[in-house]
Structure 1
Amino acid sequence: MSGRMSENKIILIKRKTRLEELVVRYNTIQQAKFYIERLGADFSDYISEDHHYRKAVETAVIELSAIGRVQLLERQHVPNFIFGDEDTVVVLGQDGLVANTLKYLREQPLIGVNPDPQRWDGVLLPFTVKDLRLLLPEVFRGQRQVREVTLARAELNDGQSLYGVNDLFIGRKTHVSARYQLQLNDETEQQSSSGIIVSTGMGSTGWLKSVLAGATGIVRSAAGLQVDAEAEAVLGLAGSGQRLAWDHPHLYFTVREPFPSRTTSAGVVFGQIGAQQPLRITSQMPEDGVIFSDGVESDFLEFNSGVEATISLAEKRGRLVV
C-alpha cells in the first residue's frame, strides 16, 4: 500500500436495520418476532434484510481498510459529526441516507453504495460494495466524475440554519394550519396553510411534484382548462419522466392548502427562488412551528412567533461521485 493511499481517511456511514430498530423497541429478537407475526407479517424478511446489510457493512469495512483509514459512523451521529476537509464519505444506502448525509458535508465527495441491489432501487446508489476497492483509488486521484447538487438553506434571524438536499418543510409539527407572513420580491402576504414546501432540482420529482400534480389535476377536472405549462414543462409533471438537473440554479416553493379569509390571502402560492430573490417567512405560530428538511422531522429548527426565516440557495453544493 502506498503512503498516499494509507493517509486517506474514509468515513463509512451505516444505519440501523428494521430488525435492529425492533430490538431496541422490544428488547429481544423473540419479542420482536412475536409482535411482527401477531400482525401477520413475515418476520423472515426482517431477518434476511438484517443479514444482507450486516454482511455488506462487514465487506465494506474490509474493502475500504485495504485502501485507507476507516471510521464507521452511525446515521444518528451524522448531524453532530465534524467531517474533515479531506475526508471521503461512503454511505451504505438507501437514497434517503445519502440525502440526509449530503446536507452535513462541506463539499467532501460522497459515494452512495447499494448494500442489497435485489431489495433496493437507488437513484443515488450507483455502486455496490464490490466496487469500492477499485473505485476509491480513482476518487483519491480525482479520476471519477463528480456531480454537483444544489442545496437549499433556511437561515433564521437568530443565526441558526438548516440545509436541504431534496426539500424543506416550513409549518406546524402536526401539519395543521400554520400562520405566517410570506414575502417574495415586492409581494407580501399573510397566509394560513398546512405548510410550505421548498424543493431543489434533485427533489423536484418528490414531494413538490406530488403537490403540483394534485393541483394540476384539480384545475383540469374542475375547470376543463389547459393548465399553464410552467409546472409541467419546468418541473416535469404529468408523467413526462423529466426532472430538473441536480445543479439547477433555482429552488421552487409551493404553499399547501392555502386558506383565504378576511385576514389571509392565497395569491403567492407557487414561485421560484433564485440567487437574488430569497423567500422570507415570518412565523405567527405561538407553538409547534418547525422547519425540517428531507423528511427528517426529528432534526428541525423551531419556528415560532416573531422568528424570521430566509430561504435561499445554499452557499455550498453537494458532490456525488458517479
Structure 2
Amino acid sequence: MSLAPRAVLVHRTTEYDELVARHGTHGQAAFFLASRGRDIEEVAERHRRTRRALAEVTAAIPLSWRQTRVERADLDRFLFAPEDVVVVVGQDGLVANVAKYLAGQPVVGIDTDPGRNPGVLVRHRPGDAATLLPSVLAAGTGVDELTMVEAVADDTQRLVALNEIYLGAAGHQTARYRLGLEDDGGVVEAQASSGVLVGTGTGATGWIRSVWQERGGDGGRGEGHRGVGGSGGGRGAGVRLPGPTEERLVWFVREAWPSPATGTSLVAGELAGGGRLVLTVECERLIAFGDGIESDAVELTWGQTVRVGVWGERLRLVG
C-alpha cells in the first residue's frame, strides 16, 4: 500500500518575528524601527499577511494527505520523501533555497506579498491552493522543469543552485585561478578577477542578467558562442541568455585583470548539455556558493579543481 502524499509547507521567519525575538517586545521593536525612520505597522502587516497565507494554505490541504512544516533555517536538516508535495509559502528566493534539497518532488509556490515579490517562482495566490493542491499529482498538471547548476570539487564537495553559482575570493576581492572548458582541447588561461558566475535561465532574471547587461548583452540576437574574448562588443556580446527550462548555462568572469601573468581571453560563454567549466585554484582560499547564500559556501584551496555544469536533477515547478 502506497503512502498518502505529504504536503511540506516551507516558510521562513518573518521580519516581525525576528525583530521581536531580538528586542524582546513589540514596543521595543517599534522604538528601534522608529529610530531608523521606519514604522513597525508596515512590518507587522506583512507578518499578518504571511500568517493568513499559511493558515489558508494549510486549510486547503486535502484531508487524506499528511502534512508538516519546515522553516528555511532547518532545510539542511529536513528529510524530503519521494511522495512529498512541496508548498513554498513566501518569496521567490525561498523556492531557490529549497530546490537543492529536492529530487523530483513537485513544488507549488505561493506568493504571500503580491506586488512586492516578482512572482517568477511563487506564481500562485493563497486562495488558489484549494483547487490547485488536489490536482498537483493528477496527470496533465502543468509543470515547468527548471534547469539547475552544480559545482563538484575534486574532493567530492558538491554545491547545487537554481539561479547561479559564484566562485571567487571571500569578500569578492581578487581571486587567482586557471580557467578552461573541459571539452575545448585543453585551452586554459590563468586569470585574476573578482570571481566567476555560472547561471541558469532562472538566474537570468537576476544577478546573471545584471552582469550580462553591464557590458551590452547581445541585443536579443540569439547568437551564442561557447567562449567569448574580452575585446570588442563587451563581456556579454555574443552570449544568449537561456530560458529557465533550457539545458544550457551561461558563465561570466567578473572584472578580469590583464597582466603579464594573467589573461582576459576567456571571460564569457555557454555550457550546453554535458559541458563543464573547469577552474583550478591558484590562491590560498577560494569559495563557491549558490543563489547568493554565502554562509553556505564550499571552501577550496591551492591546487584544487572544481567543475561546473548542468545538474542532472531539475526543479519541477507547478505552473
**Is the shorter-chain TM-score for this pair beyond 0.5, marking a shared fold?**
yes
Paired residues for 1:42-57 under 5 Å: 42-57=39-54
Specify which of 23, 26, 29 is matched with residue 26 of structure 2.
29
Deviations, residues 42-83 of structure 1 (Å, cap 9, x unaligned): 221011111111111122222226351110100111123221
Are 2:231 and 1:234 equivalent residues in the alignment? no
Contact 1:114 1:125 in 2 (8 A): yes
Residue identity opposite 1:279 in structure 2? L
Contact 2:250 2:268 in 1 (8 A): yes
Contact 2:239 2:270 in 1 (8 A): no
Specify which of 48, 63, 83 is matched with residue 86 of structure 1.
83
Quote the Cα distance in structure 2 between the aligned partners of 1:16 and 1:26.
15
Residues 67 and 111 of structure 1: CA distance in aligned 2, closer, same or farther (over 3 Å):
farther
Paired residues for 1:76-115 under 5 Å: 76-115=73-112
Compute the displacement of 1:179 (Å): 0.9
Deviations, residues 186-218 of structure 1 (Å, cap 9, x unaligned): 32011110010101111123212211211229x
Paired residues for 1:162-201 under 5 Å: 162-184=159-181, 185=184, 186-201=186-201
Gaps of 5+ in 2: 218-230
Residue identity opposite 1:207 in structure 2? W
Are 2:14 and 1:17 equivalent residues in the alignment? yes
Paired residues for 1:1-322 under 5 Å: 7-64=4-61, 66-184=63-181, 185=184, 186-216=186-216, 227=233, 231=237, 234-235=240-241, 244-287=242-285, 289-322=286-319
Residue identity opposite 2:233 in structure 1? V
Compute the displacement of 1:228 (Å): 8.0
Deviations, residues 254-302 of structure 1 (Å, cap 9, x unaligned): 0000011121111100011123421111112313x21111111111111
Contact 1:91 1:113 in 2 (8 A): yes
Compute the displacement of 1:171 (Å): 0.6
Residues 213 and 119 of structure 1: CA distance in aligned 2, closer, same or farther (over 3 Å):
closer
Contact 2:216 2:235 in 1 (8 A): no
TM-score by length of 1: 0.88
Question: What is the aligned partner in structure 2 of residue 221 from structure 1?
Answer: none
Contact 2:235 2:252 in 1 (8 A): no
Quote the Cα distance in structure 1 between the aligned partners of 2:309 and 2:207.
18
| Count of paired positions | 303
The alignment partner of 1:140 has SS state of coil
Contact 2:179 2:190 in 1 (8 A): yes
The alignment partner of 2:215 has SS state of helix
Compute the displacement of 1:152 (Å): 0.5
Cα root mean square deviation, aligned? 2.2
Deviations, residues 112-161 of structure 1 (Å, cap 9, x unaligned): 01123254331112211222122112112234111111110100111111
Residue identity opposite 1:214 in structure 2? E
Residue identity opposite 1:297 in structure 2? E
Residues 119 and 189 of structure 1: CA distance in aligned 2, closer, same or farther (over 3 Å):
closer
Residues 308 and 226 of structure 1: CA distance in aligned 2, closer, same or farther (over 3 Å):
closer
Contact 1:67 1:136 in 2 (8 A): no
Compute the displacement of 1:174 (Å): 0.4
Quote the Cα distance in structure 2 between the aligned partners of 1:278 and 1:118.
38
Quote the Cα distance in structure 2 between the aligned partners of 1:258 and 1:94.
33
Quote the Cα distance in structure 2 between the aligned partners of 1:231 and 1:26.
50
Residues 52 and 276 of structure 1: CA distance in aligned 2, closer, same or farther (over 3 Å):
closer
Quote the Cα distance in structure 2 between the aligned partners of 1:96 and 1:282.
30
Quote the Cα distance in structure 1 between the aligned partners of 2:56 and 2:132.
15
Moved more, 24-33 or 95-104: 24-33
Quote the Cα distance in structure 2 between the aligned partners of 1:101 and 1:80.
12
Quote the Cα distance in structure 2 between the aligned partners of 1:285 and 1:11.
42
> Which structure shows the higher helix fraction?
1
Contact 1:67 1:137 in 2 (8 A): no
Compute the displacement of 1:27 (Å): 3.3
Residue identity opposite 1:278 in structure 2? R
Percent of aligned positions with the same letter in both sequences? 35
Quote the Cα distance in structure 1 between the aligned partners of 2:169 and 2:62.
45
Contact 1:156 1:310 in 2 (8 A): yes
Residues 172 and 107 of structure 1: CA distance in aligned 2, closer, same or farther (over 3 Å):
same
Residues 113 and 232 of structure 1: CA distance in aligned 2, closer, same or farther (over 3 Å):
farther
TM-score by length of 2: 0.88
Compute the displacement of 1:233 (Å): 7.3
Residue identity opposite 1:66 in structure 2? L
Contact 2:216 2:236 in 1 (8 A): no
